[in-house]
Amino acid sequence: MRSLVVLAALVAGTATAVAADFQPPTTLPEGPFGEMIAKGEAIFTETKANAGPYVGNELSCRNCHLDRGRLANSAPMWAAFGLYPQYRAKNKSVNTFTHRIQDCFRFSMNGKKPEADSEVMVALQSYIFWLATGAPVGAKLPGQGYKLLPKPAEAPSPERGATVFAANCALCHGADGQGTKRAGGGYQFPPLWGPNSYNWGAGMHRVNTAAGFIKANMPFGRGGTLSDQEAWDVAAYVNSRPRPQDPRFTGDVADTRAKFHNDDDYYGVTLDGKVIGAEK
């Protein structure tokens, strides 16, 4: 009996060690599965170029799921795969993994849901299924999701955030946040607001989610250099700028806010005499 307990503890200890060090594979399998994975990786990396009909902006999955969905604490795909089906408060139902990906198309990509049996969906799922090779199923792994920051000392201020933005972000994302295009097409630095960015229903529009993402990863290559207060302030600035309408829009911003939003975001809030989210 006693040795069984010890054995169980050992096994549990091993499982934790494996999970903390989880490394997605790097060598593609041969054959049709490998080809499908490569298609999925291309969609994940250059989404508009490879899944155009479903994309309504100029973002790619990897702009928010960094290192092509591999980076811990940047909602890595290997940690997501085994957590579905899962109940989500956002749509008050049990979501399959297909449904979860469709939601990032609808909101983060401001686009349309790829059908469950479309090649885009099969390719993306093949890529993600492969990244999760050997990851435990049904367990929340270290590194899953985005790291949230503690609430700042002072309430986040878009006004202070504008100063942080000009000093630390404008160089890449543009003074007007509209991103910077590559010479050969597509974006080198993705748009943070405006018609080509994520819409008012996307997870990144929440100030807490953006603050955590920005603190860990931005300025790109120099994550962790902003103070927590600066990260919250610049997240408040970015997420109080205009962006595409929430696809759940009921015809009225206040009503849409009451139904689908909470206090972590600026949708429907009046700032400088304007109702945010009502602009065209």
Nearer to ligand HEC, 159 or 255 (CB): 159
Number of neighbouring beta carbons within 10 Å of residue 26: 6
CB of 39 to ligand HEC, least distance (A): 13
Nearer to ligand HEC, 24 or 145 (CB): 145
Q: Can you list the pairs that 44-50 forms with residues at least 24 positions away whose Cβ atoms lie under 8 Å?
A: 44/68, 44/69, 44/77, 44/124, 44/127, 46/186, 47/109, 48/186, 49/185, 49/186, 50/120
Burial class (CB in 10 A: 0-12, 13-18, 19+), 278: middle
Residue from 36, 109, 141, 149 binding ligand HEC (CB under 6 A)? 109
Residues contacting 229, CB < 8 A, separation 6+: 152, 153, 154
Nearer to ligand HEC, 11 or 20 (CB): 20
| Segment lying near ligand HEC (by CB under 6 A), choices 28-36, 98-106, 129-137, 268-276 | 98-106
Nearer to ligand HEC, 34 or 82 (CB): 82
* Size of site (CB under 6 A) for ligand HEC: 47
Tell me the per-residue interface mask from 203 to 242 with ligand HEC, x by CB under 6 A, - otherwise: xx----xx--xx---xxxx----x-------x---x----
Residues 59-88 that bind ligand HEC (CB under 6 A): 59, 61-66, 75, 79-80, 83
For residues 111 and 119, give the distance between their C-alpha atoms in angstroms, rounded to a whole number: 16
Residues 144-203 that bind ligand HEC (CB under 6 A): 144-146, 168-169, 171-173, 189-192, 197-198, 202-203
For residues 62 and 90, give the distance between their C-alpha atoms in angstroms, rounded to a whole number: 22
Q: Which two tokens stand for residue 14?
A: 């091993």
Nearest C-alpha neighbor of 164 from the set 233, 64, 84: 233
Q: Does 131 bind ligand HEC (CB under 6 A)?
A: no
Question: For residues 191 and 58, is the Cβ–Cβ distance under 8 A?
Answer: yes
Question: For residues 243 and 194, is the Cβ–Cβ distance under 8 A?
Answer: yes
Nearer to ligand HEC, 227 or 270 (CB): 227
For residues 111 and 26, give the distance between their C-alpha atoms in angstroms, rounded to a whole number: 30
CB of 194 to ligand HEC, least distance (A): 10
Chain residues that interact with ligand HEC, rule: CB under 6 A: 47, 59, 61-66, 75, 79-80, 83, 100-101, 104-105, 108-109, 124, 144-146, 168-169, 171-173, 189-192, 197-198, 202-204, 209-210, 213-214, 218-221, 226, 234, 238
